[in-house]
Every structure is written in structure tokens, then in C-alpha cells.
Amino acid sequence: MDNVKKALAEIVGEDHVSAEPEELYIYSYDLGTTEPHRPDYAVAPRTTEEVQGIVKLANKEKIPVVPLGGGLSLAGLAVPLRGGIALDLKRMDTIIEVNEKARYALVECGVSQAQMCSYLERYHPTLTHSEPGAPGPATIGGNVAIHGQGDLAQPYGFSSDMINGLEIVLPTGEVCRFGSCSISAGWFTLHPLPDLGLFLGWSGTTGIITKVSLRLFPCKRIRGTGQFVVEDEELVPEVMHKLTHTQMAEDIIAYSQAIPPFTSGLHHITINIGGDSEEELEFKQKLLWDDTLGEYIRRGDGGFLGFRRGLDRPVVAKTSDWRKGGGFEYVGAIMPVDTYPECYRRGREISERHDIPYTVLGRCIGMSHAMMFSWTYAFNRADPESIRQAREALHESDDLALELGGTLWKPGLYGQKLVMERMDSNTLELMKKVKQLLDPNGIMNPGNWEVA
């Protein structure tokens, strides 16, 4: 095996490849409840050319390649199920270009969310990107690869709907470019060339994203979050529907959690809005709280908790420390908005059955077109029983999401199996052909989306 390590070292340099037990231990773990699997090598490339070299070598030696950015998918998508090369892409963290006029940012896949926020705030204050609220080190590449959603999902959809162009290293080592960048220097649009969208939502099984051109959006001078609270979960869908009608909000999230106890059983709806002037801000506040939600307030069914200026980005990963356990994992599903009440009620049952304080959250995508609904389960990393309980609760939540007619977002192995069992056979067959076409040697993140 050593000649592989030597070859890898020639590609990325001595310092950036390791087969030592320490690196293999760390890269075998997801932060959630997924069982760890040791890779054979941990490699940190700096350029697209180095990624190509690694992938070509992997083809020659028939070794799996498992790409990861922050490795924070909390679904085990970057756990090397069949060993091989853990490909840490975080060294590819150059912000190549920010085009103010066309409002896009061309970045290497390893640019972190926090770095993007900080860079735009400092150099392009009138622009912002859809920040997913994940911990800072989560990467732009990773987020689009799993169809993530951010705090602009309500007006503009999934992060993967905000792509102007992609540079991909195919499983056989060639570099492809998709969008205007494939025929000109500009990375301003993904459409309308023949659509070859085969690399998102595949959990890195069809290729490695090395560059992303991400759409940016206007950033208002004053941005803040208002909170509305209701007790009856049946109200949430209609409130979300009315709020999206105003087209004034940037992000609408409904969440409910057992801790702290005074919030238990209540549904907090946070609404992000922005304005360049106090007048614009007040105009939006009036439209949202008075004209749209006024009826609920007057009837006493819903309460306005106030508007706080400033957005807390990136969101602090405090959830992991609730039970002093250092860990949590959640199932994310894309559900119809009107399933919120059922998702909440059934989710609470699952949590109570596994003695885990319930935490659920629904983030509106588009004009109430859908929502990302998450069931979160904290666990104590030092207590295997609590990990087992969390894992069971996660699987029951996977089942629940599909039972209620939803689809699973970034599913782990268990979820992928459920989805493939329900998927119509022709689509499944096509997936298999695409995978074989792109990855003849089956080296790309094997074990994921494996059609029998």
C-alpha cells in the first residue's frame, strides 16, 4: 500500500497526506451518531489539478475517494464506509472573484460559511449570501452539494437553486464546467445550456465539486429578526402562508422545543427582514405584524415578541451542549408546509419515547412551496445508550417523514434505503446508469446511493 502513500505525497506534498492512526481516527467520525469507519489515507489537496491527480490514482488503484468540506452533514455522508481516501477540501478556500454588478461570488469549494459572511460584510456590504445557520466551518461546496438551505431560502429557495456555475472533477479525473463559465469567462448563469445537473444531492458519489459560482443577493443596511409565537400548531401553516404572501421576509422559521420549559408546547415563528431606511423597515413591520398577523394578535391566538436588530451569523452550535453531552443529530426532510402540525405532534411522541427533550424546526422554502422540517436529538457522547436512543429516534423520524408524504434531505444510509425502496423503478434504473457511466470503477463515496 505504501506506493499509494508515496504517490499521494508526490501530488499534494508530504505534509498533506497521512496514513497515521490519529488522522484516520478523526476522519472516520461524523459528529453525529453514525458508526465510524476508518479511511486508509487522509489527504488535503490545494488545487483542482491535485484533486484530479488523486482521483486518477484512485481509479488506477481501485481505492474509494470520499470528499468532505466541514464534514458537518450530521448524516454520516463523509464517513468512508469502504475505507480509501478521506479527501479534506478545506484547503481550497480562495474567494476567487466577487462580481458586484452581476451579484455572484466565484469561490473554491472549501470556502467556509463564516469566511464568506465576514468577507462580504467587510468588502461588499451591499451583498449577502444564503447562510445556512450551520457552524462556521461548514463549506459553500458542501452546502450546495447536499441541496442545503440558508437564511434566504424563503424568497430564493435551496442553496442549490442559487448556482451560476460549477467546476466538477469527474470520478474518472477529468474537469468539467457547467454554466456560462464553460463557454466564456463569466460565471453569471448556470442555465440555459443543455442541462447536465448530475452532481447535487448525490452525496459526492458522481464527482467532486471544486468551484462554485454562488448567487449573491442585496443586503439591506438594517437587518433583524422579529418573533411571533402561537400555541396551536394548526395555525403555523396558515401563518406561514400569509407571511409569504407579503413577499417581505428574508427567512421564516417555525420552531418548538422542550427546553427551556417555558417555551415547551409553544411555536415560535422567527421572521428575518431588512431595510435600508427606518421607513422601509417600519413599512415591512407594519405589513407583517399589523396587517398580516394583526387578526391573530387581536384574537389572542398569537403574540408579537418584538423585533431585534442585527443577525447572529453564523449561528452558534450550542445545541450540542444542551445535555452536556457534546452531540446532536437531526433528520431533515422536505415536507409540504401543511404537514407541520403532524410533524410536530408525531415528532414529540418519538422524542418522549426515547427520553430526549424534543426539538423541531420548520424552515420555509419559497412561497410556502415547501419547508425543511428537522427533528433534532441531542445525545451524550460519553453514554453509548443515549447514542443508541438518538439513533433509533432518527430512524423513526426518517420513517415518519416518508409516511407523511415528504422526502428526506441529505439522508444517511438508512434514509437512502427508505427513499430508494419507494422511488419508481425507472428513475432508480436511470440513477444506476448515470452512476455507472460517470464512475465505472465505483470509487466515489461508495456505499451511498448504491442502487442494488
Q: Quick one: which of 26, 219, 423, 428 contacts other proteins (CB under 8 A)?
A: 26
> For other proteins, which stretch binds (CB under 8 A), given 26-34, 47-55, 163-171, 334-342?
26-34
In the three-class reduction of DSSP (H, G, I as helix; E, B as strand; rest coil), residue 198 is classed as coil
* Nearest Cα residue to 71 out of 119, 107, 117, 23: 23
Q: Is 80 left (phi over 0), alpha (psi -120 to 50) or beta?
A: beta
Residue span 153-182 as binding mask against other proteins, x where in contact by CB under 8 A, dash where not = ------------------------------
Burial class (CB in 10 A: 0-12, 13-18, 19+), 380: middle
- Residue 204 near residue 75, CB atoms below 8 Å: no
The residue count for binding other proteins (CB under 8 A) is: 72
User: Site for other proteins (CB under 8 A): which residue of 143, 154, 159, 285?
Assistant: 285
Q: Binding of other proteins at residue 9 (CB under 8 A)?
A: no
| Chain residues 134-153 in contact with other proteins, contact rule CB under 8 A | 135-137
Q: CB nearer to other proteins: give 156 or 304.
A: 304
d(CA 157, CA 168): 22
Residue 25 or 345: the one with the smaller Cβ distance to other proteins is 25
- Candidates 53, 87, 90, 397: give the one binding other proteins (CB under 8 A): 90
Q: Could you give the C-alpha distances from 12 to 45, 51, 151, 297, 405, in angstroms and in order?
A: 6, 9, 36, 61, 46
Q: Which of residues 353-392 bind other proteins (CB under 8 A)?
A: 380-382
Residues 326-345 that bind other proteins (CB under 8 A): 326-327
Q: Left if phi > 0, otherwise alpha if psi is -120 to 50, otherwise beta: which for 157? A: left
193 binds other proteins, rule: CB under 8 A: no
Interface of this chain with other proteins, residues 225 to 244, rule: CB under 8 A: 229-231
Closest CB to other proteins among 27 and 187? 27
Pairing status of strand 104-108 against strand 95-99: antiparallel
**Alpha-carbon distance 169 to 128, whole Å?**
28
CB of 217 to other proteins, least distance (A): 20
Decide if 148 contacts 212 (C-beta within 8 A): no
Closest distance of CB 2 from other proteins, Å = 16
End-to-end CA distance of the chain: 30
Map residues 57-76 to x or -, x wherever contact with other proteins holds by CB under 8 A.
Answer: -------------xxx----
Which stretch in 56-64, 170-178, 302-310, 349-357 sits in contact with other proteins by CB under 8 A?
302-310
How far apart (Å, rounded) are the C-alpha atoms in residues 386 and 328? 11
Nearer to other proteins, 190 or 360 (CB): 360
Q: How far is the CB of 265 from other proteins (least distance, A)?
A: 8
